[in-house]
Structure 1
Amino acid sequence: MKTILKAVALTAAIATVPTAAFAQKAPGAVIVTVDTRRISAECNACKTAATQLQSQAQQLQQFAQGLGQPIQTEADAIQKALAGKAPDAAMQTRIQALQTKQNQANQQLQQREQTLRRNQAYVSQQINDKLRPILTQVMNARGANLVVDRGDVLDASSTLDVTTDVLTQLNTALPSVSTTAPAQAAPASR
């Protein structure tokens, strides 16, 4: 019985302690906004990288066309030679050779597309690696504890926008980026 009374007394004592004693109050939000689209469009390294990546994409497209033209020419010739006839042994060999060329071309294109995507991701990584500390520094300088992308905000005072400060610091800290990602390491064998 005494044990039950002690448990009831303890429960009553805990219930009377204010819950604020158990949890710290979160500080009020001091917010700044940054326009990441503007940073991407205006940062010097970003503009240079975008031009170089566009050039890489155009080279890939030209490479694809260079691979595709002879394959298409051969496919048209085979189609014309068949003209509704069943292929003989020589034609079957020619068809198989064409399929092999198509597969090889597709593999080459996939490798180059992967390289382009890896280069794009590497550019983003380099920019983000420099951008994050700059955002923290600008946030701290403004006494803010939260930064929000301007594109995610319905409306905000222009005095909250720190994009120009961030852009200025990013241009200084990151004059250029590499648009060629380091080669991927070969997977370790077990």
Structure 2
Amino acid sequence: MRSFTKAAVAAFVFAAPTAPAFAQALPDAKIAVVDSERIFRDCTACKAATTQLQAQRQQLQALATQRGQPLQTEAQALQAAVTAAKGNPDAALQTRIRTFEQNQQRAQQEVGAQEQQVQRNIAYVREQIGTRLGPIITQIAQQRGATLAVDKGNSFYNAPATEITDAVLTALNAALPSVSVTAPAQAAPSATAPAAGARPAPAGR
């Protein structure tokens, strides 16, 4: 889950009393620190999602191996047959080559589609956690009187008293005990929508 740690937590700046900028000095900043790496490692939903996404990647690898090994064997056999034919394959060998190319294309499409689904699932998990985490950080930081919240990974030093990670983690676990690791299906393009670049048909006279 570390791949989306920084993307989920940036900086949260809270509202100051409204007044013209030139009429008052900026207030003294009170900073709250959040260890986002720890949150994405230890939160209940994060740990469960990591396990499930790893399983999806293993399934993807198994699919690629299952589809790829027979193709690799057939490719070697075809190469030997073409060599034996001295570069002039007969009709049967040409048909065999075309069949191999079609099977290879289908396998690539199947594995590619599965890989895209896994990437969409990762992004969907990131979205669900980030949507809940941002408001929680804002709320807890405001409750502690902070005017700024920063990621611990972007600071050189912070006093322990400035950290609100424990409170954020507790609140996130309560608000989001689990997430879905299957992204919603993408909407299919409308059959009635005009193709990109297509011109409308001329009106009848």
TM-score by length of 2: 0.79
Partner of 1:78: 78
Deviation at 1:27, TM superposition (A): 2.4
Q: Distance in 2 between matches of 1:122 and 1:21?
A: 40
* More displaced stretch, 73-82 vs 115-124: 73-82
Q: Distance in 2 between matches of 1:178 and 1:89?
A: 52
Q: Distance in 1 between matches of 2:188 and 2:30?
A: 47
Larger radius of gyration: 1
Task: Give 1:109's aligned amino acid.
Answer: V
Q: Distance in 2 between matches of 1:83 and 1:57?
A: 38
Sort the Cα spacing of 1:98 and 1:24 in 2 relative to 1 into closer, same or farther, 3 A: farther
Q: Which whole-Å deviations, capped at 9, do the CAs of 1:46-94 have from their partners, x for residues lacking one?
A: 0000000000000010011111111111111112222352122221221
Partner of 2:14: none
Q: Distance in 1 between matches of 2:147 and 2:105?
A: 54
Partner of 2:161: 159
Partner of 1:99: 101
Partner of 1:40: 40
Partner of 1:135: 137
TM-score by length of 1: 0.85
3-state SS of 1:186 partner: coil
Q: Distance in 2 between matches of 1:144 and 1:184?
A: 40
Higher helix share: 1
Gaps of 5+ in 1: 1-19
Figure out how many residues of one structure are paired with residues of the other and give that number. Answer: 171
Task: Give 2:161's aligned amino acid.
Answer: T
1:119 alignment partner, one of 117, 121, 124? 121
Gaps of 5+ in 2: 1-19, 195-205
Partner of 1:12: none
Partner of 1:60: 60
